[in-house]
Structure 1
Amino acid sequence: MTVTLVYAAYAVGVLAALLAFGRASDTLGRRPVLLAALALSGTSSLVFVLVGAMSSGGLPLLFTGRVLSGLSAGMFTGTATAALADYAGKDNQLRASVIAAVANIGGLGLGPLVSGLLARHAGRPLQTSYLVHVVVVVLAVAAILAVPEPVRPDGPRRLRFQRLGVPAVARAAFLQAGTAGFAGFALLGLFTAVSPSVLALLGHHNPALTGVVVFAVFAASAAGQVVSATLPARPALLAGTGVLVLGLAVLGISLARSSLPLLVIAGVIGGAGQGLSFRAALGLVTQVSPAEQRGGVASSFFAVVYVGISLPVVGIGVGTREYGLVHTGEVFAAILAVLALLALTSLALRKPRAA
């Protein structure tokens, strides 16, 4: 239960950053926000290093580090994507969006992989990976300082609270896309948060193996996002949601049979479906929204999916205490499969209209 709550603290930080800093780079500039996000990211790693050196009493600091990490990620989510689009120019927007998507999901996958390998083969497993991350943050700061500011903000430089909302014309599409996005990110949340416990239940206690399994899921997601860039939004969303349903079904079977190969296959299938549907879902909700409201709609969509990556995982933590991890995981996979199937059915029967 504690593990899932610590994991959820990250999503709290992400949501807070999306609300407080969603428009910050438009008024302050891209580089100041990116540098602030890197500062938070580096600070969170230093907090984790401190926690790793403590023998007891480090739980409050652990929560603090997770929230700081979430704040950093939330600030990066829109700012880095916007900066890439600025640097790419009008003729390379598709390439910039694909790079942003792969960097985002690929980074989430590389983190557990590298950490798992370091925990298995390097000393001080609770500290080394975070020290490596601090070095990476320093390199990133140097890289940002070396490039020019891509935008020149007009007007007063002040923070404005990001208001969430969905206009009436986009609500049907938002419900369809948001449901699929919620289910997909919940799948990612499951593999990220409870993979060590699931693998331990299957008799595997190797942290490097945990990293490989999680990386496989996110690598499949990144590949799915690349493929989605070659397809129109609605067909990609239909295909991705269908693949996601299949992945969730295989996940339930893998837990029932205590099968590691099936678990990995489920992660790869589900990750590919999530990646294929995610880009398409975000594109669909912005496409059907009025131009002057697209920023708020996109922020609302990210809020939904980040709730998806955390809240169900907390539910798993609660359910595991009462019913065990396997049974809870089976129910979890079944509920998400039903949600994704409902979204798929709605998409197939009703085509959203652009604003």
Structure 2
Amino acid sequence: MVGDRQGWLRCLLAGAVFVVGMTGTTLPTPLYPLYQEKFGFSELTVTVVYAVYAFGVIGALLLAGNASDRIGRRPTLFWGLGFAAASAVCFLSADGLDWLYAGRLLSGLSAGLFTGAATAYVMDLAPPGGQSRATLVATAANMGGLGCGPLLAGLLAEYAPEPLLLPFAVHLALVAASALVLLRLPETVRDPRPLSSVRPQRPALPAQVRPVFVPAAIASFAGFALFGVFTSVSPAFLARYLHVDNHAVSGLIVALAFFASTAGQLAVGRFGVSRSLPLGCAVLFAGLAFLAGALSVELLALVVLAAVVGGVGQGLSFRAALSAVAAAAPVDRRAAVISTLFVVAYTGISIPVIGVGLLSEPLGLEQAGLVFTGCMLVLVTSAALYLLRRPVPTRTP
């Protein structure tokens, strides 16, 4: 009993470090309108600054996705915290666009290292028989941390001084506290190897995975694209068209999407993978439809519904996609296959987001958002129709 309590305490502390790591990746979200005002750049630049983060994540996944299996969980997470601290320093020093690009790239590298290493660490530290509950801790920490970023920054920007400095100073302090916590936690990888043993991972897609991977990848791409648009241009849309100038409200609306995703991921255990993936596509479709309605009639309630419903759909579809792809992959190639799915997912928060930025110049932000929504609706419908004809194998994550 004492051992179980100690195991769960360590598991939760690792989860708290995970939350801090992911919080930094979405911290700038409600602050983009302030940066636009300060540096005078366009919506396209906002989307490119945001997409640089995704390129950092993809780079970390491809170059060091298996790092924690080789050098250990703690060293990998210390590297992740180091990149997070360097990102915060860039934003604290920002006097031009170059600092924002550097800060987002470093933030992406941090997230890429944290995503796999922290998930594995939380599960490693759980007591025997607690893997299922530990998975929920990791899921909640991941998406919960992403939701805490815009919420924290929005509150500090609205109700505290120095809105472009204080959020990053607070996060830097949280990173330092997390490093101290990590020092007290044990390493769970036996016989860790030196850093030189880390090798780049190639995306892999064995033949038996492809029938499952296609709809899973489409749903993941669309869900992450929705998140990308919410976290890059929604604050500008709220301010410009709905006259929501309160940064805390903007941050809360974005945070709702991530918190709803956590709820959707938790629901997969109840519905099962085979039903959750098509159900997630259907809910994601509804969320995109609400987003299209919000862009068309400029109604705040529809923006909130798009965040909540779209977030639930993304959570359902992505966790089910991840479970289905992992179940279909050969054991010796599972990590590479999962990394490939994450590469597709994070491509979803870069290329479509930049597309919205490009279209916003000639069409305006509303029309650009409608074009994006239409494309994503077609993708989600295609995935759903495919799944109706070829259901994924039944397996509870």
User: What TM-score comes out, normalization by structure 1 length?
Assistant: 0.96
Is residue 2:65 matched to residue 1:22?
Answer: yes
Aligned residue identity for 1:195: S
2:46 corresponds to: 3
Contact 1:94 1:229 (8 Å CA) reproduced: no
2:342 corresponds to: 302
Contact 2:295 2:370 (8 Å CA) reproduced: yes
1:36 corresponds to: 79
Once the two structures are superposed, the pairs formed by residues 131-146 of structure 1 within 5 Å of their partners are: 131-146=169-184
Contact 1:98 1:229 (8 Å CA) reproduced: no
Aligned residue pairs, count = 350
1:59 corresponds to: 97
**CA-to-partner distance for each residue in 1:105-144, whole Å, 9 max, x for gaps?**
1111110011001000110000000000001101110111
Q: Distance in 2 between matches of 1:17 and 1:229?
A: 29
Aligned residue identity for 1:149: E
Distance 1:353 1:219, change over 3 A: closer
1:127 corresponds, among 160, 165, 168, to: 165
Q: Distance in 1 between matches of 2:138 and 2:183?
A: 19
2:320 corresponds, among 272, 280, 284, to: 280
Q: Distance in 1 between matches of 2:204 and 2:111?
A: 21
Once the two structures are superposed, the pairs formed by residues 225-236 of structure 1 within 5 Å of their partners are: 225-236=265-276
Tell me the CA shift for residue 156 of structure 1. Answer: 6.1
1:83 corresponds to: 121
Contact 1:26 1:153 (8 Å CA) reproduced: no
1:237 corresponds to: 277
SS at match of 1:95: helix
Q: Distance in 1 between matches of 2:284 and 2:237?
A: 20
Gap runs ≥5 in structure 1: none
Tell me the CA shift for residue 303 of structure 1. Answer: 0.3
Q: Distance in 2 between matches of 1:100 and 1:228?
A: 14
Tell me the CA shift for residue 352 of structure 1. Answer: 3.7
Aligned residue identity for 1:45: A
1:118 corresponds to: 156
Contact 1:27 1:154 (8 Å CA) reproduced: yes
Q: Distance in 1 between matches of 2:350 and 2:133?
A: 30
SS at match of 1:72: helix
Once the two structures are superposed, the pairs formed by residues 1-355 of structure 1 within 5 Å of their partners are: 1-51=44-94, 54=95, 58-153=96-191, 158-200=197-239, 201-352=241-392
Contact 1:282 1:298 (8 Å CA) reproduced: yes
Contact 2:72 2:192 (8 Å CA) reproduced: no
Tell me the CA shift for residue 155 of structure 1. Answer: 6.0
Aligned residue identity for 1:245: F
Tell me the CA shift for residue 323 of structure 1. Answer: 0.6
Tell me the CA shift for residue 28 of structure 1. Answer: 0.5
Contact 1:179 1:340 (8 Å CA) reproduced: yes
SS at match of 1:230: helix
Q: Distance in 2 between matches of 1:87 and 1:136?
A: 22
2:22 corresponds to: none
Gap runs ≥5 in structure 2: 1-43
**CA-to-partner distance for each residue in 1:241-261, whole Å, 9 max, x for gaps?**
110001101110111001111
- Computed over aligned residues only, the root mean square deviation of the Cα atoms, in angstroms, reads 1.4
Tell me the CA shift for residue 103 of structure 1. Answer: 0.8
Contact 2:281 2:380 (8 Å CA) reproduced: yes
Tell me the CA shift for residue 202 of structure 1. Answer: 1.6
Distance 1:164 1:153, change over 3 A: farther
SS at match of 2:270: coil
Q: Distance in 2 between matches of 1:93 and 1:345?
A: 33
Aligned residue identity for 1:191: F
Contact 1:47 1:61 (8 Å CA) reproduced: yes
User: What TM-score comes out, normalization by structure 2 length?
Assistant: 0.86
SS at match of 1:85: helix
Tell me the CA shift for residue 76 of structure 1. Answer: 0.4
SS at match of 1:91: coil
Aligned residue identity for 2:112: G
Contact 1:45 1:134 (8 Å CA) reproduced: yes
